[in-house]
Structure 1
Amino acid sequence: MADPLDDIGRQLKDAGHRAAPPLQQWDPPLSGDIDIVIRADGEWLHEGTTFKRSAIVDLFSSILRREADGQYYLVTPVEKWRIRVEAHALQVIDITRNASDGTLVASCNHGPDIVIGKDHPLCASAHSDVPWLVCHHGLSASLARSVWYRLVETAEESGANLVIRSGGLSYVLGPSAG
């Protein structure tokens, strides 16, 4: 049997860094499972081995979606391969404040920057004190420890809580120390 990674690679070899693929328009039947795991620390593995080329991970993350069944899939117009994700598919590695409108912009380890707001809110985590970010195509992103610390340092006190604001919304980071 041919390696599914080779098939996906052939289909997408000319994709480069163009506009995001129209994943919402693609609905191929399930091709099967592929031994790709995105670990909780953001590392991508294929058959237990770390991907060596970040360009491949960037490419695959552009065709990754989480569906209503809670499973993660690499999707092309003609194939759909299920993979495993231990926690979040992406990781926020930097956050900057847009000078013109004050929104927070998250840079993820793979994929486009995301404006934190109504469509992409920060959400409370059931497993830790650190929130996570709602991303595109049903994906989510954990916050790198350094990003979390910077958010806490720049947060404002509001009542008994520390909050940050972006996109006209407030996000509670936790109780204030005061």
Structure 2
Amino acid sequence: MAERDVKSNQNTAISLDDLLKQIAPDPSGRKLPPVDAWSPERSTDIDMEIRADGSWWHEGGQIKREKLVKLFSTILRRDADGSFWLVTPYEKVVVHVEDAPFMAVRVDVAGERGRDQQIVMKTNLGDVVVVGPDHPLRVETDPETLEPSPYVFVRGRLEAKLTRPAFYELAELAEPAPDGDEERLGVWSQGAFYDLGPAGT
């Protein structure tokens, strides 16, 4: 939510394990409920909303208790039709999502810069992902304004949109595409190249 929370690790060769320990000190991580396995018959709409800035709202009022928002985020599911739900074994509640359900607020780099680097992102709700095959990065470009909107896959069809400061951090790692097209820039992570868009945008 707060874009000022972005912190990039300036060490050039910190290991991925050491970096993850710094960002997510609990090695066991969070055990998430098996929301994909639950198929409750009852569904309801109680005016739950996640706005474009990552804030959560209920009946027009912002939910400001961070622990409650984090709890809700662990039972959030996106179905194949694009709909979002808070899911329990007994009921599911529709969630109206304006853009993406999470915000990526921190960008760090492990390993040697370039093709061997690993980019780690942390969301506003504490999820930590390493950009790569399991957590790909994608950028949508507005056809009129050419403004990029970068997203990283978190879990179960759920994505995090990078805040503007986080995208600037990412852009500092950009280099020309490996196919020789110097008009396009991107970043490497876990041996894969992710296109950020045309140079100069």
TM-score tier after normalising by the smaller chain length = 0.7 to 0.9
Match for residue 173 of structure 2? 154
Question: Residue 166 of structure 1: CA displacement?
Answer: 0.7
Match for residue 145 of structure 1? 164
Match for residue 149 of structure 2? 130
Structure 1 stretch displaced more, 84-93 or 133-142 = 133-142
**Counterpart code for 1:81:** V
Match for residue 76 of structure 1? 88
Q: Distance in 2 between matches of 1:95 and 1:117?
A: 14
Match for residue 43 of structure 2? 31
Structure 1 stretch displaced more, 85-94 or 134-143 = 134-143
Which runs of 5 or more structure 2 residues have no equivalent in the other structure? 1-28
After TM superposition, what 4+ stretches of structure 1 lie above 3 angstroms from structure 2?
none
Equivalent position SS for 1:31: strand
Q: Is the 8 A contact 2:135 2:152 kept in 1?
A: yes
**Counterpart code for 2:109:** R
Aligned-pair RMSD on alpha carbons?
1.8
Match for residue 61 of structure 1? 73
**Counterpart code for 1:105:** V
Match for residue 133 of structure 2? 118
Question: Residue 163 of structure 1: CA displacement?
Answer: 1.3
Query: How many residues were matched structurally?
Result: 161
Q: Is the 8 A contact 2:36 2:77 kept in 1?
A: no
Which runs of 5 or more structure 1 residues have no equivalent in the other structure? 1-16
Equivalent position SS for 1:154: coil
Q: What is the TM-score with the length of structure 1 in the denominator? A: 0.83
**Counterpart code for 2:157:** G
Q: Is the 8 A contact 1:61 1:111 kept in 2?
A: no
Q: Is the 8 A contact 2:86 2:94 kept in 1?
A: yes
Equivalent position SS for 2:169: helix
Q: Is the 8 A contact 2:138 2:196 kept in 1?
A: no
Q: Distance in 1 between matches of 2:60 and 2:86?
A: 18
RCO greater where, 1 or 2, for CA within 8 Å and sep 6 or more? 2
Match for residue 99 of structure 2? 87
Structure 1 stretch displaced more, 26-35 or 48-57 = 26-35
Q: Distance in 1 between matches of 2:192 and 2:84?
A: 29
Q: Is the 8 A contact 2:35 2:87 kept in 1?
A: yes
Which string of whole-angstrom CA distances, capped at 9 and with x for unpartnered residues, describes residues 57-81 of structure 1?
0000110011012110001122111
Q: Structure 1 residues 72 and 168, CA, compared in 2 at 3 Å: closer, same or farther?
A: same
